[in-house]
A and B are shown apart, each in its own frame.
Chain A
Amino acid sequence: MHIVQMRGIVKRFGDLIANDHVDFELESGEIHALLGENGAGKTTLMRILYGLYHADEGNILVNDQPVAIHTPKDAIAAGIGMVTQHFTLVPTLTVAENLALGEKGSLTLDIKQVERSVAEASKRFGIPVKPDVLVRHLSVGERQRVEILKALYRNAQVLILDEPTAVLVPQEVDVLFEALKRLQYSGLSVIFISHKLHEVMDLCNRITVLRDGKAVGTVHKNDTSTKQLATMMVGRESFGVTRQEQRVQGEVLVTIKNMCAEDKKGLPALRNINLEVHAGEILGIAGVSGNGQAELSAILCGMQKPSSGQIMVEGQDLTGAEADVICATGIGRIPEDRHANLVGELSVAENLVLDHLQDYVKNGILERNKIQQQAGKLIKDFQIKAKPRDRLRTLSGGNMQKVMLARTLSREPRVVIVSQPTRGLDVGATDYVRSQLLEQRKRGAAVLMISEDLDEIIALSDRIAVIYEGEIVGIIPNSEATPEKLGLMMSGSNIEKRKQEKKRVQV
């Protein structure tokens, strides 16, 4: 029996067709994956089902009855709940208040009574939450549990999860999957949006693959393989980018000694960081988001000053140097936020010379021809799909990142600092960016790469340093790295263990 059917769904955003006559069927009691690359239309399709978008064409049936879903309210009434990628919780309210938000009922709100019923639901569904805690005090994993419980609390029969594992460490993923399987046995149907093949094969019964807004096909888990799914996703066999094996380590180019820093609120963000990056290697910094990566990247890019410690690059002390000094020293920076480092209203050509304008200015006047020539060359070399005069904001994320890469790497920096290089990019662009980073390594540059994508870290890094609560909790060579091991380190388990042992010794 089909609990949800979506037929011929079309959704356009301007010229872009996000969903092109998509058919989707969910059987009662199954976990069904929606698989596809970024921008394939998975989230759009589900936002239509949850009433956050309106389809331009097509219709939706729930329990074989046609339903009109105009708002999330209609979806909730039809028994559909969704956990969106950006959580829809109010941070300043408690867990119980968040769950009571959509309820109708008496004028006054007996919050104690809501808390009791939330606690009861938490127990019944096997999803542990504390009802009286403010959401802003919860970790990402805990917030996700609250989101799931929120949907179940409102009697959802169908639960949509949009990339739920993107924010979790591997251990939390295991816990989530166990909970989902348990809920499945008690009759819940789940739609699981993902672009991670092994997760989908782990968890789901059936898989529908979307590509470029079209449904490519639906397969049973037992009848398919990750390789087949990958082919369906990208329309070609993706081999990814692999790095050549370890080569002789070069000289040390970057030394960071005992560096500490504070975050914007004045709390310690980095504690005693010691790192060395050699010529011809990629040092990966792995960690769950918000453990000091942003500060580390900002300091190395000259956008923030450390509170203590020292940064040496090729024997030169760059501690607390300004961005222009760092740039002039031959350090290439590819910061995390493309939008903050490119100017959308300027042309591609102007953006390509923005951080070394002095080379393109004569007597205070821009040398337009020289800028255009340089742009033409870089656009060709870095396969940027744009013309020099295009406004930068009209480019896709992948092409923006290529502009960043072209601007930085064309100067052949000896040291490259790069943060989240492929976040939000599709497979094609991701492959390209990664191959460019490996190219730098081959050229003999020292690359320090901060990434929250474990696959990326393992695929590219020669050595991997794990950061947890602002501390480097371990550095391991690639040959010893597995996702499980890194996951454990990222969740701070060895630190906590060490602390406990210390305590025991003291006792």
Chain B
Amino acid sequence: MSTPAVIFIVGFLAATLRVATPLIYGTLGELFCERAGILNLGIEGTMFLGAFVGFAVGYHSGSLWLGVAIAAVAGMVSGLLMSLLAVRFGVNQHVAGLGITMLWTGVSLFSFRLIFGESKVQPSVDPFPQISLFGDTPIIGTIFTQYLLTYIGILLVPLVWWIINRTRFGLQIRAVGENPEAADAAGLNVYAIRTYALMIGGALMAVGGAFLSLASVGAFTFGIVAGRGWVCIALIIFANWRAISVLWGALIFGGVQALQLRLQTLGLKLPYELFLSLPYLVTILALSIAGRNAAAPSALLKPYRRE
């Protein structure tokens, strides 16, 4: 059984799930924002903030879960700020989102220096343990030895689908994202609903970031998010704004990422930059195929103003 090919594939599948996890959180977070009509380009910064806050709190309190929780709260604050700019003041969503990304990147790096100083040794925590669902069962057992946050992330996918499609709140989110005038005329508070959606979205993004620092790496580094937020923006288009498809998108990207890491170690005579760019090339390819029939929420990018 333990031929090199099997070991390769099993390791690849396990890594796929790990790599996909922060993308699932980030994209589901972005899904809440965009279904409510707000393109939240603050996602990259919010994930970075989540990674930092999660690490700082986890490091000092000794409780990684407290770190995740406070990261989620920080994400909600980020969502609230986005709401203040893009919903309340009607600022251009691109500008507001990019501004927030820059803000949180700066704030996180600055605060990290303040708290941890310039130590020669990178501060680190013992990351979350991996949990084996199927014990020592060959293959399956190895694949499903993952972080609890990964399992939660996968379970969140149907939960988010259910919230958006089967609850009153979800109906309201869809309505303000498609036709805020109609929602307003129906007596809904468009601003409030968009704000809630942004806060939930921000919390999910930040947890995705905290997963990176508290599970994948066990430390906080400058390049920890490395454009995953932007990948989430692409995945949402790939998923055509549907929760279930988010999972497939994240798994495809995660899979290619895991594959390229493994291809690099095979010692092929190809420049490693080629492997590094592979996931992004696949993203562009998938987008140009899946994005053609994409149907964005009609009110996306449009600030709502009563006349």
State whether these chains interact.
yes
Q: Does B167 lie within 8 Å of A92, measured CB to CB?
A: no
Q: Does B171 lie within 8 Å of A93, measured CB to CB?
A: yes
Q: Does A72 lie within 8 Å of B186, measured CB to CB?
A: yes
> A71 an interface residue at 8 Å Cβ cutoff?
yes
Contacts of A82 in B (CB 8 A): 185
Kindly provide the distance from the CB of B292 to the nearest chain A CB, expressed in whole angstroms. 13
Partner of A109, one of B171, B175, B186, B306: B171
> B264 an interface residue at 8 Å Cβ cutoff?
no
> B290 an interface residue at 8 Å Cβ cutoff?
no
Interface of chain B residues 239 through 278 with chain A (CB within 8 A)? none
Q: Does B166 lie within 8 Å of A101, measured CB to CB?
A: no
Q: Does B167 lie within 8 Å of A109, measured CB to CB?
A: yes
Interface of chain B residues 148 through 184 with chain A (CB within 8 A)? 166-172, 174-175, 178-179, 181-184
Q: Does A108 lie within 8 Å of B166, measured CB to CB?
A: yes
The CA of A82 and the CA of B186, in the complex, are separated in Å by 10
Q: Does B187 lie within 8 Å of A100, measured CB to CB?
A: no
Compute the total of residue contacts between A and B using a CB distance below 8 Å: 77
Contacts of B298 in A (CB 8 A): 91-92
Partner of A84, one of B166, B175, B185, B189: B185
> A52 an interface residue at 8 Å Cβ cutoff?
yes
Q: Does A93 lie within 8 Å of B168, measured CB to CB?
A: no
> A382 an interface residue at 8 Å Cβ cutoff?
no
Kindly provide the distance from the CB of A90 to the nearest chain B CB, expressed in whole angstroms. 5
Interface string of A40-56 (1 = CB under 8 A from B): 00000000001011000
Q: Does A88 lie within 8 Å of B168, measured CB to CB?
A: no
Q: A53-B307, A89-B182, A98-B182 are in contact. Are A107 and B167 (CB under 8 A)?
A: yes
Q: A107-B168, A108-B166 are in contact. Are A88 and B186 (CB under 8 A)?
A: yes
Interface size class of A (residues with CB under 8 A): 20 to 34
Q: A52-B307, A90-B174 are in contact. Are A108 and B167 (CB under 8 A)?
A: yes
Contacts of A108 in B (CB 8 A): 166-168
Q: Does B181 lie within 8 Å of A101, measured CB to CB?
A: no
> B188 an interface residue at 8 Å Cβ cutoff?
yes
Q: A72-B186, A109-B171 are in contact. Are A90 and B307 (CB under 8 A)?
A: no
Partner of B186, one of A52, A101, A111: A101
Kindly provide the distance from the CB of B34 to the nearest chain A CB, expressed in whole angstroms. 14
Interface of chain A residues 26 through 82 with chain B (CB within 8 A)? 50, 52-53, 71-73, 76, 82
Kindly provide the distance from the CB of B162 to the nearest chain A CB, expressed in whole angstroms. 9
Interface size class of B (residues with CB under 8 A): 20 to 34
> A503 an interface residue at 8 Å Cβ cutoff?
no
Partner of A73, one of B166, B178, B187, B306: B187
The CA of A106 and the CA of B171, in the complex, are separated in Å by 12
The CA of A489 and the CA of B166, in the complex, are separated in Å by 44
Chain B residue at minimal CB-CB distance from A76: B187
Kindly provide the distance from the CB of A82 to the nearest chain B CB, expressed in whole angstroms. 7
Q: Does B171 lie within 8 Å of A72, measured CB to CB?
A: no
Partner of A90, one of B169, B179, B187: B179
Q: A52-B306, A100-B171, A107-B167 are in contact. Are A88 and B179 (CB under 8 A)?
A: yes
Q: Does A105 lie within 8 Å of B168, measured CB to CB?
A: yes
> A424 an interface residue at 8 Å Cβ cutoff?
no
Q: A73-B187, A90-B183 are in contact. Are A101 and B307 (CB under 8 A)?
A: no
> A124 an interface residue at 8 Å Cβ cutoff?
no
Kindly provide the distance from the CB of B240 to the nearest chain A CB, expressed in whole angstroms. 12
Q: Does A101 lie within 8 Å of B306, measured CB to CB?
A: no
Q: A52-B185, A52-B306, A76-B187 are in contact. Are A101 and B178 (CB under 8 A)?
A: no
Contacts of A97 in B (CB 8 A): 171
The CA of A227 and the CA of B174, in the complex, are separated in Å by 48
Contacts of A84 in B (CB 8 A): 185
Q: Does B167 lie within 8 Å of A101, measured CB to CB?
A: no
Kindly provide the distance from the CB of A399 to the nearest chain B CB, expressed in whole angstroms. 22
Q: A52-B307, A108-B168, A109-B167 are in contact. Are A93 and B185 (CB under 8 A)?
A: no
Kindly provide the distance from the CB of A158 to the nearest chain B CB, expressed in whole angstroms. 15
Q: Does A72 lie within 8 Å of B181, measured CB to CB?
A: no
> A102 an interface residue at 8 Å Cβ cutoff?
yes
Contacts of A106 in B (CB 8 A): 168
> A86 an interface residue at 8 Å Cβ cutoff?
yes
Kindly provide the distance from the CB of B193 to the nearest chain A CB, expressed in whole angstroms. 11
Contacts of A89 in B (CB 8 A): 179, 182
Kindly provide the distance from the CB of B153 to the nearest chain A CB, expressed in whole angstroms. 23
Kindly provide the distance from the CB of A104 to the nearest chain B CB, expressed in whole angstroms. 8
Interface string of A289-300 (1 = CB under 8 A from B): 000000000000
Contacts of B179 in A (CB 8 A): 88-91
The CA of A52 and the CA of B305, in the complex, are separated in Å by 11
Partner of B175, one of A71, A73, A76, A101: A101
Kindly provide the distance from the CB of A148 to the nearest chain B CB, expressed in whole angstroms. 13
Kindly provide the distance from the CB of B299 to the nearest chain A CB, expressed in whole angstroms. 10
Q: Does B182 lie within 8 Å of A107, measured CB to CB?
A: no
Kindly provide the distance from the CB of A190 to the nearest chain B CB, expressed in whole angstroms. 18
Contacts of B182 in A (CB 8 A): 87-90, 98, 101
Kindly provide the distance from the CB of B295 to the nearest chain A CB, expressed in whole angstroms. 8
Partner of B178, one of A71, A86, A93, A111: A93
The CA of A450 and the CA of B241, in the complex, are separated in Å by 39
Q: What are 28 A-B pairs with beta-carbon distances under 8 A?
A: A52-B307, A53-B307, A72-B185, A72-B186, A73-B188, A73-B189, A87-B182, A88-B185, A88-B186, A89-B182, A90-B178, A90-B179, A91-B178, A91-B298, A93-B171, A98-B182, A100-B171, A101-B172, A101-B183, A101-B186, A101-B188, A102-B186, A102-B187, A106-B168, A107-B168, A108-B167, A109-B166, A150-B186
Extra inter-chain contacts (7) besides given A52-B307, A93-B174, CB under 8 Å: A71-B184, A88-B179, A88-B184, A88-B185, A92-B298, A107-B169, A109-B170
